[in-house]
Amino acid sequence: MIREHFEFRQTIATILADEPGHVEAAKSGMMAARQEVERQIATDPYFSATLEPYTPEAPGRTVGRMARAAEEAGVGPMAAVAGAIAWAGVEAMVDAGASFGLVDNGGDIALVSDREVKIGVFAGASPLSGRIAFLLPPQEGILGICTSSATVGPSISFGIADAVTVFSPDVACADAWATAICNQITRDDTSILDALPGTEIRGVLAVIGDVVIRWGDLPPVVRARVDERLITAGRPPV
């Protein structure tokens, strides 16, 4: 398996692939998505500034995905940018013939996989951080596994959770909902999860200190030792 670090401005990603051509396809897909978002921001700065749902006129594919995800989750469209860019990268890998491909864009993951994959959970100072992982079965289609944290990383958060991981075939929605849930969920208040039935969200796992909150259909969670050197750290979005 090929593991390659890819960095361009605020995009800091890890690409996993079987063939060099699939790595290059992922880079091209991510760059095209980034360029679309940058063009949108250049002509419409509000798109990157608002923390509320906002749909610009005649959005492109990636911008449209971000806007739709933001509308559903009740957050600003930039809450979905990392997931949307990772999604574009893996779509390009599939178009290039990949049956296995993964893009980890600062903790927001898109993947297609013909094999079992283990994905570790990094949750800052939580005693569970680096000790558990998801064991994903083979995936016929692209799946998003996006994580938001109030205690780790540079992204804006109004919550307290050490990690909220969301699973969805709509990677932009997984990213937006991870932010929305992380903003609101507490040990004693999980009411934000009541908004999820009827969405494309398959499952949620939230870690708050030593407390784990589960919702929906999650892959098995197993014990693991996560190598922190493999964590893809990000910067503030675009």
pLDDT at residue 228, as a whole number? 62
In this structure, are residues 83 and 144 in contact, taking their beta carbons and an 8 Å threshold? yes
In this structure, are residues 98 and 25 in contact, taking their beta carbons and an 8 Å threshold? yes
Report domain extents, the chain: 2-227
Residue 131 confidence class, pLDDT cut points 50, 70, 90: confident
pLDDT tens digits for 180-216?
999 999 999 999 999 999 999 999 999 999 999 999 9
Residue 115 pLDDT greater than 80, yes or no: yes
pLDDT at residue 124, as a whole number? 80
Extract the tokens encoding 179.
């932010």
pLDDT at residue 230, as a whole number? 56
* Distant-in-sequence, close-in-space partners of 2: CB < 8 Å, separation ≥ 6: 15, 16, 17, 18, 19, 20, 23
In this structure, are residues 186 and 160 in contact, taking their beta carbons and an 8 Å threshold? yes
pLDDT at residue 191, as a whole number? 97
Mean pLDDT value across the chain: 92
Residue 159 pLDDT greater than 90, yes or no: no
pLDDT tens digits for 2-38?
999 999 988 899 999 999 999 999 999 999 999 999 9
The pTM of this model reads 0.91
Residue 232 confidence class, pLDDT cut points 50, 70, 90: low
For the structural domain made of 2-227, what CATH number should be given?
A: 3.10.520.10
